[in-house]
Structure formats: C-alpha cells, structure tokens
Structure 1
Amino acid sequence: MADERLLEVHGLRKAFGDNVVWEEGNLDLAPGETHAVIGGSGTGKSVLLKCVLGLLDPDSGSIRYRDQELVGMAQGERARMTRDMGMLFQDAALFDSMTVGANVGFELEQMNLMPPKEIRERVTEVLGWVGLPGIEDRDPAQLSGGMRKRVGLARALASGPNLMLYDEPTTGLDPITSDVINELIIYLQEKTHTSGLVITHDMDSAYKIAGRISMLYQGRLVFTGTPEEIRTTDHPVVSQFVHGRAHGPITEGA
C-alpha cells in the first residue's frame, strides 16, 4: 500500500524541566525509506531516537511501530518490539574489554538468538559487509574512529533489524571517512532493505543518504522535504542552517 508506514510519531512532547526539546513532533517513515532529522548541536535531536527505543518516555504523544503503539507498552513486549531495531551510537559505544568479534556478537549471545557456531558465522558475515573481514580478534583500542563506527554498524546489523537508528553517524570523522560511512549506509540499506532514521547536523551526509529530511528548531519540526526541497527552500530557519547564512530575519517560533 502506498500509505504504509513502518514508524509513525505523532504529537511527541519531551521536556527536561523548563527545557522543551520536542513539542508536537510529527514524523513518519515508510518501509525501505531513510529519513534524516537535522538541526543544531544540543537541540535534542537524539531524544527522538531514545524515545523510539524506549530509553526515554515522552511526556505525551504516540510512537507506533509496525502499527503497534510503543508508548505505554509493557516492558517485556516493548523489548521484543525494539529487538527489531538496530542502533549506531554516536561514539559507536563498543565495549573496550571485549574483542571486535565479541562486540559484534554481543546481542546475539546475550539474547540467545543463535547457537555459538551460527553467531561466529554471522559476525564474520556482517564484518564483511562493512569492509572489515578478519578483525574479530582485534581490540577496539586498535581501531581508528572510522573502523569503530563500522564495527558499531556491524553490531547493529547482526540481529537483522528492519529499522536502523543512526545517531550522528559521521560526527568526529574526516570528510573522506565520513563519505565512506555514507556510502556504507546506502549499500547496507540496499542490501538488507532496512529503513533508516538518521539524526545529523552534517548536511552532506543528509543529502546523500536520505530520501526525506526534517528540520528541528525550537522543539518543532519546522520543515520536511526531499533533499532538493531542503536545498532550495526559502524557509528562513532551514535556509540559514543548510547554507550557513540567514535568508531574511529568523523570527521567534518560525
């Protein structure tokens, strides 16, 4: 169906004291689509991912995944639903006390999702997908920042998620390594047919990997469009952010 949606967020509100980071947030994601949320550092973009994963509870609003309401769902059922999601954390969040192979297979082992032999085979497979074959026995401390990101991506993909959540996937990387990560995200989306929800302030990345882009400003998604629509809009807030300059005055609450 043309109107099918994998993820639907309606009326999301989340505040920390007097700081309202999301106010009436509305966003949807179709199967196979990658949707990026852009905005300045510290504006609360990552809060959306934490609410989807159940790491934070919204103050109000609805989050539906595969037509199931996640907000208020019993903890055990919520955990079962979110096992269908993979997360690439901003810093890759690898366990330094474990080898690369143990990191990638961590969830599979902890959740008893596969026998040990199949876990080893799966680890080898997903490390191959991200272009890092044969590094299972290395320690994370031996890896560059870009390699750590790729290992984190392999770990997120190991359980075969239908939805990938990316928290600033290119932050801290040089332009060439950032583009490697962007190309990898595109390749894996095409290979595994996963949907993607991306939080970023990197416009080059958003343009390259996303089919739609939404702009978060003062707690609200003020504009949603294709990469071309984002590039050419005369919306003052969006134009200032994507081009690095003001396009007319930015009014309060715009």
Structure 2
Amino acid sequence: MFTFEDNFRESPMSIKWSADFLPGQVFRMCYPENFSVAGGLKDSRRHFMVHCRKDLTFNWEFGDDHAEASGSDPIGKVHLVLNADVAGRSLRWSMSFRNSTDTVLAKVSAFNCLNLANAPLFRDLELQRTRTRGADGNWVTLRDVPKELRADTSMQCYPTAGGIDMVNHLAGSKSHGWGVARAVLSGDRIVVDSVDGRWMLESIVDGQVAYFFTNWAADDAGCIHAAPLFGDVGPGEEVSVGGRIRFVNR
C-alpha cells in the first residue's frame, strides 16, 4: 500500500508518500517543481509555474493508493494523476499541460523532483549508486560522468540524446547555478541502488527525457530528476506525458 500526505509548508505542489514494503522510508515529490521552455515566453524567461510562486494555485485530492492535482498560473494549466500499482511496487504518474498563452512554447519540459533525503536506504551523497545509460546504451554511474560547468556545485545536470541542449539552454538563464555534464546520456530512467543492495529505485519516463538532474548535499537535499519532454506546445494545445517510479527487489 502507498500512503500520501501533503507537504504544503514546502510548496503547494509538494507531497510526501511512503510504501508499506519499505518501512522508514519517506519520499518527497514535486511534480513538477517548475516547467522550462527553450523559447516563447516574454523577457526571455526560461521557467514558469515555479513551485514557490505566489500566483500559483495547486489543489490536491488524496485517496487510497491514489492522488490527483490540478494547478495553473498565467502561462498554463497542469493536471497530475498518481496511481499506485501495489503488486508491481510502482507509482504511475501522468501529467498533462495546456498552454494558456497566445504563442508557441518551445521544447516544454517538466522539472520533476523526487527527493530521497528522508529515505536513508537510498541516500547517495557521492553518486556511487546512482546511474543511467551512456550514449552507447551501457549503464554508467553518475559519479564517473565528467562535469563541465560548475563542477563544484551539488546541482548537476546531465543532457540526454534527443533531449534539450542544456549548455545553450542554461546560457540564456540569468541565474541557474547548475553544473552540466560533458557527456550526453541516454535512456528513459535514472536509477538508485539501495545501501544494502536489496532494492533498485527507478524513476522512469514513458517517452523522451529532456535531461537528468541530481542534487545530493549534506543537508536535506537529495533529489533525482528524469525530466519529461512535452515538445513544442501551441496556443491552447494540451500535451500529456507519463511515467512511473518503480522499486525492484533483488
């Protein structure tokens, strides 16, 4: 069974959840923490529906093994559905975005945050157990992926084949504070192996990943992101993406 509760002190878009087969592990989720675009917003902005903005409305409904939310800001509307697959030890999510502007929003992606800071079984400050696939399709540990921009920060972005050119994308941002990996990665998921080696956590996107992201620090930071790419979204157009968070018992 999956249990959901609000985490609204942190953000109106944030919730906490736990699974009965992983006692003592609490996961924080902010889907999305924000949206980003490659173009289409005024003043060359790259982000909207930022989770801490005062002009954002976000309403949640919780049920047994189910949660649902709708949110909006002047740029667009988002609808998120979470459904637990208890037998499959996974949490499926689907997200739709509708463009409320009169312009095309280019390369829309969602900064979907899964925070593991309160799930010590998956704590990985050194990125020794966090991995995804390299350009050749083979698994690569993120600790071993060379960094290019701001290698000193815990916030690291990993471009993906077919995703967003993050170096150019972030160059248009006034302040981002991210490091960006040199390598281009691939695949549809980011994976964290548990400390005891018994579990594998997979954050999966059913479709194109815009980029991967991690932020592990000594305080309460401990998040992984597999950002789904919506693509170009025209005025009034609605686009949906989906994925799942799955736990594999070894």
TM-score normalised over the length of structure 2: 0.28
Q: Which has the higher contact order (CA 8 A, sep 6+)?
A: 1
Which structure dedicates a bigger proportion of its chain to helix? 1
Report the structure number with the largest CA radius of gyration.
1
TM-score normalised over the length of structure 1: 0.28
Which structure dedicates a bigger proportion of its chain to strand? 2
